[in-house]
A and B are shown apart, each in its own frame.
Chain A
Amino acid sequence: MKMRKIACLTPAVAGLMLLTACGQGGGDAGDEASGASGENATAALPNGMTVQEQIEARQKKLENIGGAFKTISDQLKSDSPDVAAIQTAAATVPAEATGMADWFPEGTGPDSGVETEALAIIWQEKEDFLSKISDMQNAAATLNTTAQGGDVAAIGEAFKATGGTCKACHDKFRLDD
């Protein structure tokens, strides 16, 4: 009888925990929205772009890289991967990632008033951030040369390695979504 009671309580506790988790998610979103003031969005940066332009430009570049990764990941999942598609996508990654170290000038962080998942720690630990960017660029270059070689197993390894460098940086420097 006692055992039965414990078994009954388990789902109840679980459900309450789920509700709490859901509440926390909502809280984060609220903080993000209240941080946006929009005041600095049009401020000019030393490179001539406005804060908003800079943030949107890097988001576009990173999205393009995400899109290329999906193309490669789709083909690697397939029984008969389209190597030409992988090669085209892999070539865009180092190209899109060129100059990444310059995409994050001071003033384009969470206080900028523009919606961004870039965390303030980027500017506090700039050295580590830049070294992670260069890791990614090196891995992307290797991925591209490997892809042009056409060996699917090797491409898979290089793809995993590149993905690891993305994740290493995102885990520390990007807002957890």
Chain B
Amino acid sequence: MTADKRQLVWDWPVRLVHWSMAILVLLLWWTAEEGIMDWHKRLGLTMLGLLVFRLVWGIAGSWTARFAPMIKGLAKLPAYFAALLKGGHKPSFGHNPMGVLSVFALLTLLGLQVGSGLFAVDVDGLESGPLSTFVSFGTGRDFADYHEFNFDILAVFIGLHILAILSYQFLIKDRLIGPMITGKRPAQDFGETPLPTMAVRPAALFAALLIAIGGVYLVANAG
């Protein structure tokens, strides 16, 4: 194995979804602050599509995208954390156990955010999410209040995520940001251990896209 050999750790759909979500959260926040609700709703539905895609990709994607190995990795959390404190950090292939917590927390909060937005009604009864026709004005208002509250929680967790990534980058010197852009990191980081293959299966990709787009279409036209 040559020194400059690079190993794929994140497939391109994972990276594309990750950065699209980051940009969308910003745009959704901005459109909400400015009251540009037609775009807020369009972008919210786009976020729904990304979320659905990511959930399917967590089952059908390449190895590091999948939830099952992540959940297994959680068992190593105490040992991982102890090693981290002692300065004995070793790079993980895919999400490290702390990252797994981040993935599940952020996906859950994003899901709650988009989900509550679908049913939300504004205080004047003029603007409303595509599924709000199924709830009363009062219930829609409750969803809107939760939508607002949950965003603050989401923002805190995004802040924690960024803080953690920066700590890895500058304190622990495990550079995680570059690989989330290029998808690759030096193969020597993982020593000689054989790694799972990182294939993006076209059929799985097609299925995930179909479910995501179909889901968004159904929700958008449910009213």
Interface residues of A (CB under 8 A from B): 4, 7-8, 11-12, 14-16, 18-19, 21-22, 25-26, 63, 65-71, 73-74, 77-78, 163, 166-167, 170, 177
Contact = CB atoms under 8 A, between A and B. Distances in A.
B4 interface: no
Contacts of A4: 178, 181
Interface of B: 22, 25-26, 29, 33, 121, 123-126, 128, 130, 132-133, 136-138, 140, 148, 151-152, 155-156, 158-159, 161-163, 165-166, 169, 177-178, 181, 223
B156 A19 contact: yes
A149 to B, nearest CB: 22
Given A18-B29, A22-B152, A66 B123 contact: yes
A71 B125 CA distance: 8
Given A18-B159, A22-B155, A78-B133, A11 B126 contact: no
Contacts of A66: 121, 123-125, 137
A72 B64 CA distance: 48
A14 B26 contact: yes
Contacts of A26: 152
A7 B126 contact: no
Contact of B162 (A11, A68, A177): A11
For the complex of A and B, the 10 pairs showing the least CB-CB separation, nearest first, are A69-B125, A66-B125, A15-B162, A70-B125, A18-B155, A67-B137, A74-B133, A8-B177, A163-B126, A77-B223
A19 to B, nearest CB: 5
Contact of B125 (A11, A16, A22, A67): A67
A81 to B, nearest CB: 11
A177 B126 contact: no
A4 to B, nearest CB: 6
A15 B138 CA distance: 32
A170 B127 CA distance: 14
A19 B163 CA distance: 12
Given A8-B181, A12-B162, A77-B130, 8 more contacts: A4-B181, A15-B161, A19-B155, A22-B152, A70-B121, A70-B137, A77-B133, A78-B133
Contacts of A15: 155, 158-159, 161-163
Nearest to A13: B162
6 contacts: A22-B156, A67-B125, A67-B136, A70-B121, A77-B130, A78-B133
A15 B133 CA distance: 33
A18 B158 contact: yes
Given A67-B137, A77-B223, A167 B181 contact: no
A69 B133 CA distance: 12
Contacts of B25: 14, 18
